[in-house]
Structure formats: C-alpha cells, structure tokens
Chains A and B, each alone.
Chain A
Amino acid sequence: MAGFDWIVPVILTMITAATPLVFAGIGELITEKSGVLNLGVEGMMLVGAVTGFITATVTGNYFLAVLAAAFAGSVMAFLFGVLTLSLMANQVATGLALTLFGVGLSALMGQEFVGMPVDPLDKLYISGLTDIPYIGPIIFGQDGLVYLSFAVVAAVSWFLYKTKAGLILRAVGDSHDAAHSIGYSVIGIRYLAVMFGGAMSGIGGAYLSLAYTPMWAENMTAGRGWIALALIVFATWKPGLVLIGAYMFGGITILQLHAQAAGLDVPSQVLSMLPYVATVLVLVLISKDQSRIRKHAPACIGKIFHPAA
C-alpha cells in the first residue's frame, strides 16, 4: 500500500519533535502539581541543552552529558526555588526573569562551542526486531532518551496516583495550609518538585542539542519551553495526556510541513495557531465542569505559601 508509506516517517519525525516537549512538560507538571508555576522552562531547557552539549563534546560520554544537563536544569530550578519558596518572590515574575537569565547564561557558556558538530545519540538496533516493517523502526529503533521519556511519564503517573508520596505532593498543591497543618513540609516538598521540573527541562534541552539537532546554537529551543507550558493545560495536568498532547503538538507541525511538501495549499501561520487555540478550548471545556477541574488542576498554583505558625 503505497498510500500509507508516509505514515511511518511521519511518526518517526513526530517522536523526535515531541520528545523534548514530553520531558519539559512532565517536569513542569510535577512542579505545577505541587502548586508552583515556573515560567522559566525555556531558560532551564537552554541551560540544559548547552550543558549537555559541552559535556558530550568534552567527555564524549552521553550518559554523563544527560546527567549534567539534568543537574544544570535543577540548579536553575533551585535558584527559582530560593526566590519563590524561601524568599516568597512572585512566581510569574521570577519565572520570566529566570528565562532572561537562562538565555544569557547559556549563550555565555556556549560561546566556544558554536559551529561544532557532535555525533547524534545512538539509536537502538536489534537485528530482526528493528527490521520489522512499519512498527520495527518505531518501536525498536529509537534513542535512549525517547525510551526514557516514556518511562518517566509512566513513573510520574504511578508516583502521583499510586504512592503515598504522590498523594502528599498533590495535597501540597491543592491546599498547602491543610498539608502544613498535618505536618508536611510544604516548602521542602515544593523544592523537590521544582528541582525535578528543572532536571526534566534540562534533559528536554539536551535532547535538542544531542539527538534532535546535534549541535549547539544560541536560543536553539526556539520557544519550545512555552509550548510545554501550554501542553500541561491541554493535558489537564494528567501525565498520560502530556505524552499524547506532546505528540499532537509536535504532530501538527509535522503534518503541516508534509502537506506543504505535498503541494497542498495551507496557510502556515493559521495552522501554527491551532495548538494554542486548541489549548484554550480544552481549558474552557475542563474548566466548565467544576468537579473535573478540581480533580486535576492544582488549586494552589502560583500562590505563595508562608506557614502561619
């Protein structure tokens, strides 16, 4: 069936386009579930991207590179935590400032590394399995970070809904005063959540600089951090939907490019608007139903907590 041959390549391209969004989205989801809104995703991704790239170029060790990217992202997030959690600065303003800072810092760090190629992250190849037509390359032919992104989503999903720690995290995000009065350390839990978010953003950035387009160039995230923020709303704060949403957000761009290449007349700007309009619509749909929004959206998001005692 020649008519369906395009599906496999489209899916393969979608996976690459979606993976950085999955990482950044799932990290920010945990951050937001704890009741914190960190708008600095773009900045954290960039710092992760450059740190990962530098580590890979200098050491040649990609495992270390991803680790370093995660660490760099969480250091950025820690900074955000100090300001918003300990010093109670406004989260929206601090997040925006963090992005300003991250864009500059990553450019400064990467100055010597512009225009350097690096080998892309290895892809899995299992003789026999990867060669299966259609599903082989999709399921058995990805790089390690793609598999990791699925594992992280599964782990986060399990953590949030099946573990006590996950319950506590959600409680902190839904009612910090109540969680505090039971005796949980709201600030401590939020620090962990924020830093997890940073680490995931860092890995998402490293996916760009090591696998998606293996190079470093200033501002190479090109707004993906902001898309990740939209994605979480679109996913109504559910980990599984973050995954699906990331593939849809990535997919729209890919399909649009394919349609153009096939000679179909599509106004690209109008199509580019679609994900954002769709997010607004989803938000309206879930918000309309009070019980649903209460179930998934963290009630304390963006609110400052100070123990009254």
Chain B
Amino acid sequence: MTLKSIPSLLGAVAVAGSMLMGATAMAEDKIGFVYVGPVGDHGWTYRHDLGRQAVQNELGDKVKTTFVESVKEGPDSERVIRQMAADGHKLIFTTSFGFMNPTLKVAKQFPDVKFEHATGYKRADNVSAYSARFYEGRYVVGKIVGNMTKSNVIGYIGSFPIPEVVRGINALTLAAKSVNPDIKVKVAWVSTWYDPGKEADAAKALIDQGADVILQHTDSPAPLQVAEERGVWAVGQASDMSRFAPKAQLTAIIDDWDGYYVARTKAALDGSWKSEDTWGGFNTGMVDLAPYNKAIPADLIALAEKTRNGIEDGSILPFAGPFNKQDGSVGAKDGEALDDGTLLGMNWYVEGVEGELPK
C-alpha cells in the first residue's frame, strides 16, 4: 500500500461507515443502560442486564436496548450518559449510586429524555429515582437463619459501611434476634464490592470464628462456595446462586429489576412516564427470594412466608420498635417504626451486632 492511498482509504471508511449508520436508524425507540461493572460479574450488573433483556424480550421490535458496561463513576459516566441522550435514547437507566450527579447534570441539558437512576436520593422532572428494599429480604432471611444456626453466630460479609449495607445487617439482626435472643452477628468488611478471593477469605474467617451461617453484601458467589465446602449455611446475593452451593444455600435475596424496567419503558413509550421515587420491596417484585433449601423445616418456611406476606401487605415493618441501638440507646420505641429518611442515612448498628461500625 502506498502512502497516497491511505487518506483515500480513510475517506472510504468514513463514507461507508456513515452510510451504514444511516441504514441502521429505524423507527424503534432506544432504551439505554449504563452499568458500573461488567455484565459478566454474575452479581449487581448481571441482574440489571437481565432486566434489560426482559425489556427487549417483552417489547420486541418496538425498542432497541443498548448498554455500556464497566463505566467508571466520574467524568466518564457523564459522557456516556450524555452520549446516549444525544444519540436519541428515549429512556436511560443509570444503575450505580455514583452516577447520580452525572445523571442529573445530563438530564438538565436533555429535558425531553427520561432518566432513571438507581439507589440515589436526588430527582428532577425527568429523573426518577428507584431502589429496592433489600433489607426486607434480609429481614425474612433473619427469621430463618436465627432458627437454623446452632452456634448462634451469624457471619456477615460487608463491602463498605454505607447505609444500604448497614440497613441490611440491622434488618437481619433484628429478625434473627426476634426468634433467637442469643444471636450474635459478626461483620467482616472487605472494602470492595467484588473480589472473589477476598470474599472467600472473609467467609472462612467468619466460619473460623464460629459462624455457621454466612450472609454477604458483596457480589461474587465465592462465599457460598466456601460455605458449601465447610458445611455451613449461606444466603445467596443478587441471583439464585444454588449452582455454586446446592447444599449450603438456604435461599437467596434476588434483585429483580425486570418488572420495573418493563413497566417504566412501557410508560415512556405511551407517554405516561412521570418522575417518581420508587423504593420497592417484595410488593413490587424488585426483591424476591430464591426457592428455599429442602433442609429448612416446614414450620420455618411457613414463618418465613408469613413474614414475607406481612411485609408485603404492610402489617410487618422490619424496623418497628422496640429495639435498641448497639450502644444501648433506644433505636425505636414500642409502637414506632423508623421512617424512610432515617433508614436512608442509617449509620449505627442495632443491638446484637458485634464490633464497631467503621467510620
């Protein structure tokens, strides 16, 4: 190839490319998803991508879903969100807390595009906030594990001490203590959302310290593999992880975004979309439990189901008093329950959790 022909080659590439681009522009509406991790993480992002696929399957050729994975929280996310908006996406889901401010910034520039931000607390006319009350799932799980444990020690693998995680620890502890007052919850913070090796190490450490049930607020199935090998119980996170621990997994707290994503997409298509604040629990289907392990006695399953139904119809509130904080002060009085604002900023343990909450 001679030097001269290179510019013409580049030109040809550009022309052919733009023709192709023109050809692919169709009448379907584009729905975008921005992910913080790779779709292959088998955890958080994986579940959101299943939601995307549900939208695509449900609405078929009416929509074209696109996604960008492993987007860093920072300047990159704003660019990606903006690019999707400028590219004619009708509705864009941004699925990590760190995308909150970038989403709002872009939303201001694109008032006609609709945005949905997961796990944040800020909204705008064209930005909805949505999140799931995973703590409801942990509360139900607490009723089970409080009875299943023989050592009365429950191990909990935490990622970062943010309210979302602390809420889960507290909900679990309150439920477990309600059926077994001797329960202790030990927490190991791994300072990462995702490091299979370190998560496995934390599970081992907790088991070695006497825990015979392992819960996690991290993304990989590694802790379940450890539980399976060590012959203790575990609870899956985000997905049904029983493939990794057929004997050990009691159940799993499943993130299920499918229903929400399909409903919001439909709303965006038929014009009924409004900015909303959704914090959905069992009642919206966002939180679900994987099939119970056969080893759980029937009366426990009944208790769990009763609790779940109670949460669903509002008769049971996980953070209803009376209970104390770890330091002995009152968490909520009898007949009271914590409001959403308190839950959103929760930065203290309830009684029964061991160790100090890192600050």
Contacts and interface: CB of A to CB of B under 8 A. Distances in A.
**A contacts B directly in the complex (CB < 8 Å)?**
yes
Interface of A: 6, 9-10, 12-13, 16-17, 20, 107, 110-111, 114-117, 120, 208, 212-215, 217-220, 222-224, 253-254, 257-258, 260-265, 267-269, 272
23 contacts: A6-B208, A10-B208, A13-B201, A13-B205, A13-B208, A111-B40, A114-B40, A115-B42, A115-B239, A116-B243, A117-B221, A117-B244, A213-B196, A217-B194, A224-B197, A257-B206, A258-B205, A261-B206, A263-B355, A267-B358, A268-B189, A268-B191, A269-B191
Contacts of B191: 268-269, 272
B190 interface: yes
B236 to A, nearest CB: 12
Nearest to B187: A260
B209 A212 contact: no
B190 to A, nearest CB: 7
A239 B209 CA distance: 33
B178 interface: no
B40 A213 contact: no
A120 B205 contact: no
A213 B42 contact: no
Interface in B164-192: 186-192
A41 to B, nearest CB: 15
Contacts of B197: 17, 20, 208, 212-213, 220, 222, 224
Contacts of A110: 40
Given A253-B201, A258-B205, A269-B191, A115 B355 contact: no
Interface in B308-359: 354-356, 358
A117 to B, nearest CB: 5
B196 A208 contact: yes
Contacts of A212: 196-197, 200
B38 A218 contact: yes
B204 A9 contact: yes
A260 B40 contact: no
Contacts of A254: 201, 204-205
B155 interface: yes
Contacts of B187: 260-261
B358 A268 contact: yes
B222 A215 contact: yes
A258 B194 contact: no
Chain B interface helix/strand/loop/mixed:
mixed
A280 B220 CA distance: 32
B196 A217 contact: yes
Contacts of B190: 257, 268
B251 interface: no
B41 interface: yes
Contacts of B125: none
B229 interface: yes
A6 to B, nearest CB: 6
B305 interface: no
B225 to A, nearest CB: 6
A222 B192 contact: yes
Contact of B188 (A107, A214, A261): A261
B38 A222 contact: no
Nearest to B354: A263
B208 A9 contact: yes
Contact of A107 (B38, B189, B206): B38
B202 interface: yes
Contacts of A264: 355
